[in-house]
Copies of this chain bind each other. A is one copy, B any other.
Amino acid sequence: MASLNKAPYKGTRDFFPADMRFRNFVFEKMAAVSETFCYEPYDGPLLEEIELYYAKSGEELINDQIYSFVDRGDRKVAIRPEMTPTVARMVAQIHREVAKPLRWYAIPNLMRYEKPQKGRLREFWQYNADVFGAGEYGDVEIIQLAVQILRSFGANASQFAIHINDRRLVDFIFTGLIGLDAEANKKLYKLVDRKNKMDPAKFAAEVRTITKDESQANAFEAYVALATIADVERFMETKNSEAAAPLVKLFKTLGELGLSEYVLFDPSIVRGLDYYTGVVFEIFDKHPENNRAIAGGGAYANLLQIFNEQPLGGVGFGMGEVPLKEFLKAHNLIQDFSKAQVDVMVTYSLASSEGDAFILADRLRAQNLKVEMIFGETKAKKAFTQAERKNTTAVVLLGEESQVKNLSTRESRPLDLGNINALVEFVKGKN
Contacts and interface: CB of A to CB of B under 8 A. Distances in A.
Interface of A: 1, 3-6, 8-10, 12-17, 20-21, 23-24, 35-38, 40-49, 51-52, 55, 67, 69, 71-73, 75, 77, 79, 86, 89-90, 92-94, 99, 101, 103-104, 109, 111, 113, 123, 134-135, 137, 140-141, 144, 148, 253, 256-257, 306-308, 340, 342, 355, 358-359, 362, 365, 368-373, 375-376, 386, 389-390
B67 A43 contact: no
Contacts of A43: 14-15, 20, 23
A1 B308 contact: yes
Given A13-B45, A16-B42, A36-B370, 14 more contacts: A5-B49, A5-B51, A8-B45, A12-B47, A14-B43, A15-B44, A20-B42, A35-B370, A37-B365, A38-B342, A67-B71, A101-B375, A135-B376, A257-B362
Contacts of A8: 44-45, 48, 89
A47 B89 CA distance: 25
25 contacts: A1-B306, A4-B51, A4-B307, A5-B49, A8-B44, A9-B48, A9-B75, A12-B46, A13-B45, A14-B86, A14-B89, A17-B42, A17-B104, A20-B43, A35-B370, A38-B370, A46-B46, A46-B79, A46-B109, A46-B111, A47-B123, A99-B389, A101-B375, A137-B375, A257-B359
A367 to B, nearest CB: 9
A368 B29 CA distance: 12
Contacts of A3: 306-308
A52 B3 CA distance: 10
Given A37-B365, A38-B372, A46-B79, A55 B15 contact: no
In the complex, the count of this chain's copies comes to 2
A38 B4 contact: no
Nearest to A113: B72
Contacts of A90: 14, 16
A41 B12 contact: no
Contacts of A12: 45-47
A41 B17 contact: yes
Contacts of A390: 38
Contacts of A55: 4
Contacts of A73: 10
A396 to B, nearest CB: 14
A414 to B, nearest CB: 24
A305 to B, nearest CB: 9
A37 B369 CA distance: 9
A101 B16 CA distance: 15
A-B pairs with lowest CB-CB distance, top 10: A12-B45, A69-B69, A17-B40, A38-B372, A137-B375, A3-B308, A15-B43, A20-B41, A36-B365, A8-B45
B9 A49 contact: yes
Given A99-B389, A253-B358, A45 B370 contact: no
Contacts of A35: 370
Contacts of A257: 358-359, 362
Contacts of A103: 372
Contacts of A373: 137, 141
B375 A14 contact: no
Given A44-B8, A46-B111, A307-B3, A38 B362 contact: no
Contacts of A99: 386, 389
Nearest to A136: B375
Contacts of A372: 37-38, 103
Contact of A45 (B9, B51, B256, B369): B9
A36 B369 contact: yes
A137 B35 CA distance: 41
A340 B355 CA distance: 45
A364 to B, nearest CB: 8
B6 A92 contact: yes
A77 B113 CA distance: 13
A321 to B, nearest CB: 12
Most B-side CB within 10 Å, residue of A15, A371, A373, A389 = A373
